[in-house]
Structure 1
Amino acid sequence: MSSSSWSILRERDFSLFLTGRFCASVAQQITDIAVGWLVYDLTGSALALGLVGLAAFLPVISLVLVTGHVADRVDRRLIMMGCFTLNTLICIGLALFAIWHPPDVWPLYALVVLMGVARAFYQPASQAFVPNLVPRSLFGQAIAWSSSVTQVAVIAGPAIGGLLYIAGAYVAFGGAALLFLVAAVAVTLIRLRAEKVPRPKIDWPTLIAGLTFIRGKPVLFGAISLDLFGVLLGGATALLPIYASDILHIGPAGLGLLRSAPAVGAAMMGLYLAQHPIARHAGKRMFGAVILFGLATIVFGLSTNFFLSLAALVVLGVADMVSVFVRQTLVQAETPDTMRGRVAAVNTVFIGASNQLGEFESGTLAAFIGAAPAVALGGVGTIAIALLWTRLFPALLHRDKLVE
């Protein structure tokens, strides 16, 4: 690995940031897998699983104008610390729900909505915070390391969550609460010199400045919207409990392996990109990755073999990491620091729409045509979107270097 990549890790503040991000990501994965399995266990409904994604996404899109502005006006470390603390309390609430087994499932959805509120504030602040930790020349490596750490957490989190769930849902939620608390402490220990930056005034033009900025940058708008529609149509995460229970018959532990598989591929690609960042033909590589993502989704959707399904999910993760790397690097490099919070908030909405709203779309479609046809059809849609976007956003297709 290059010396510049290692030098980033020797930076105390960046290492603390990665520690907090890792613990929070593991905790989030544990929570997601435990909530998904618990909901399906209580309801047996694919639509109910889709509603979990919708509940998590609604706060993100509802608060987008607020969260971005807050990230540009308030100490981003305090925002992250507050979100981690709130998630700790939410996980304690989920553990109590699992212990008491109330007859209605709506309290669980209410807690998921509250966790979505925390995520809505955390994601813009954390995305905008990374460039404050490293010089511009190391943006690519920093994003690769940050993404890799997250993906390693996504590998470990579902597996840990599946094993903890065997001991009881309340055990899984309790473990997640402890990890969120550790993340809050790690972020609190970050000590950066305070820089005087102009705070944006609060009016309508500044509230929508992030959206206006992205809309005026065809490369950014194309990259973010491509990721949105590609993952929105190709997302199969919400249906993994159905695959684990009814198609592959592998139980909670097997569900954890399925959830971890995309992150295995993403982590491997992220570590590679930390050493060898994309230097040329960035746009074409992003489009190629999205098409590969769609193909892997089709294979997974039609597979009834556990090992083939795992392999397809690993390839899916590799492709997704390339897309994420290109998009995140473009967003950070093309946006001035005074606007990064608001731009990151819009980016978060697109990410949330592709993930949480994608889960709702998959769950709803699966309720009508079945899980396997829904996933396979989504993969076809992802490929179609990628081909269409080459025509709509030629500037992105022909983008050569990421940081110009």
Structure 2
Amino acid sequence: MDTSESKRNDAYASLRYAEFNYYLVIRFAFVFALAMQFAIIEWKVYALSKDPFSLGLIGLAEVIPAVLLAPFAGHLVDKREKRGMLLKCVIAYLFISTALFILTWDKAVEGISTAWVLNFIYCLVFLGGIVRAFTSPSTFSLLSLLVPRELYANASTWSSSAWQIGGVLGPALGGLLIHWIGVHWSMLCVVAVFLAPLYSLIKIQPKPIYYKSQGESFFEGLTKGMRFVWNTKVVLGAMALDMFAVLFGGAVAMLPAFATDVLHVGSLGYGLLRSAPAVGALITMFILAHKPLVNRPGIKLLAAVFGFGITIIIFGLSTSFILSMFILLLSGALDGVSVIIRQTILQLKTPDDMRGRVASVSSMFVGSSNELGAFESGFMARVMGLVPSVVFGGCVTLGVVITTYIISPAMRKLDLKP
């Protein structure tokens, strides 16, 4: 067996690169802090407004700048050193989290109306969306500079695992901290977590820049990532499938309302519900690190998203806390399959000089669909009612999978071998 083949069969191969381990710390800390912050802010906003639609507005506030700035951000990231870009993002998040810490202090907002407090929160979330537009392509581009090409699939699995661990612990700890010390001091913990990536970024050496202008105009460089995605059908299909599944299956955004009004479990139960999908996804990540998806990954992707849609329908109809927990865990496990396959597709198919721009397009398709899904869920909850809106979203997800299977032969024949 040659060296490249033995590396691909080693589940821990990418972990043998020191800088990649520092990268995982950064990946974890970002997601852990942001997931905790969003769990805390969602709880605070619903406590102030008692309106599911206000939860949707949180997603809308972040997605607007993330989508509008994505092409420019990806273009800039491709032209800049990736570690330095991430350092700037960490500093920006620190300022935003500190502002939210102050804003959730009752004495600081004394005399300010509830409506204005909500508006200030939305503004800070909007600023976070601006930062996120640069964070996503920077982290995606940096990964490929830390391990050999034959380890991209393995590295993507571990990177997604770090992301999911943060997604597990962030909301769970956020819910527990709200229960123990309140919203205000919980936000101080978020500020502290954002300090963690600084050391890891220092330990990673500056990386080369592969950007090649080749005489192209600014507009051509800006849109090159979009044209690449459009012309690479398997990439386009994977992004579109995940986008619509998350867009219409955004039940997680409504968890404060379900925890309070349907399941009646309070902040502690909310934290457990919020972390359940990430626990399921984490289980999937570790399984796939040892048993990669080699045979017919496209069919497995479609089956996983179809199963995800079914879990969303069951969750919407459930009035049992235990059943809801199990179903959310299962939904996360199925979603983990989608995350691994999509990240591997992007790492293997994207040229080095376009990684920032393609990652930005991915964030427009997939990352932003979480926030758009939150807005869609909040809007539909106001129009149809909380439970019917979630069930409707799950049904639409099933329709998207069936349509993709019919119209996308590239997805059915997907091959992930390097």
What's the TM-score bracket when you normalise by the shorter of the two chains? over 0.9
2:41 aligned residue (26, 29, 35) = 35
Change (3 A) 1:381 1:185: same
Secondary structure of the structure 2 residue equivalent to 1:5: coil
Matched, 1:16 2:22: yes
Of 175, 178, 183 in structure 1, the residue corresponding to residue 192 of structure 2 is 178
Q: What is the one-letter code of the residue matched to 1:285?
A: K
Tell me, what secondary structure is at the counterpart of 2:195? helix
CA-to-aligned-CA distance 1:351-372 (integer Å, 9 cap, x gap) = 2332000000000000111111
> Deviations 1:44-97 (Å, cap 9, x if unpaired)?
111111000000111111101111011101111111111111111111100100
Taking the aligned partners of 1:325 and 1:344, their CA distance within structure 2 comes to 15
Question: What displacement does 1:188 show?
Answer: 2.6
CA distance in 1, matches of 2:210, 2:234: 27
Q: Equivalent residue for 2:4?
A: none
* Structure 1 pair 258–380 and aligned structure 2 pair: CA distance change class (3 A): same
What per-residue deviation string (whole Å, max 9, x for no partner) do you get for residues 95-136 of structure 1?
A: 100112332111110000011111111001111211111111
Distance 1:378 1:196, change over 3 A: closer
Gapped regions of structure 1 (runs ≥ 5): none
Match of 2:205 among 191, 195, 202: 191
Contact 2:89 2:135 in 1 (8 A): yes
Q: Partner residue of 2:230?
A: 215
Alignment map for 1:3-402 (pairs within 5 Å): 4-99=10-105, 100-101=108-109, 102-103=112-113, 104=116, 105-166=118-179, 167-192=181-206, 194-195=207-208, 197-200=210-213, 203-399=218-414, 401-402=415-416
- Which one-letter code corresponds to 2:196 in the other structure? V
Normalising by structure 1, we get a TM-score of 0.97
- Give the superposition deviation at 1:169: 1.3
* Deviation string, structure 1 residues 310-362 (Cα, Å, up to 9, x no partner): 11111100111111111111111001110011000000111233200000000
Counterpart secondary structure, 2:12 = helix
TM-score (structure 2 length as normaliser): 0.93
Q: Which amino acid aligns with 1:170?
A: H
Once residues 229 and 91 of structure 1 are traced to their aligned partners in structure 2, the CA distance between those partners, rounded to angstroms, is: 30
Identity of aligned residues (%): 37
One-letter identity of the residue aligned with 2:159: S
Listed one character per residue, the Cα deviations across residues 136-193 of structure 1 (whole Å, up to 9, x for unaligned) are 111111011010111111111111111222312121111111111112332232125x
Q: Count the aligned residue pairs.
A: 402
Partners of 1:21 and 1:187 in 2: CA distance? 11
* Aligned-partner residue type, residue 31 of structure 1: Q
Q: Distance in 2 between matches of 1:237 and 1:50?
A: 11
- Distance in 2 between the 1:53 and 1:347 partners? 17
Letter in 2 for 1:169: V
Q: Distance in 2 between matches of 1:197 and 1:249?
A: 53
- Contact conserved, 2:97 with 2:187, CA < 8 A, in 1? yes
Contact 1:59–1:116 at 8 Å: present in 2 too?
yes
In structure 1, C-alpha distance between the alignment counterparts of 2:291 and 2:198, rounded to whole Å: 32
Counterpart CA distance in 2 for 1:197 and 1:46 is 45
Matched residue type, 1:340: R
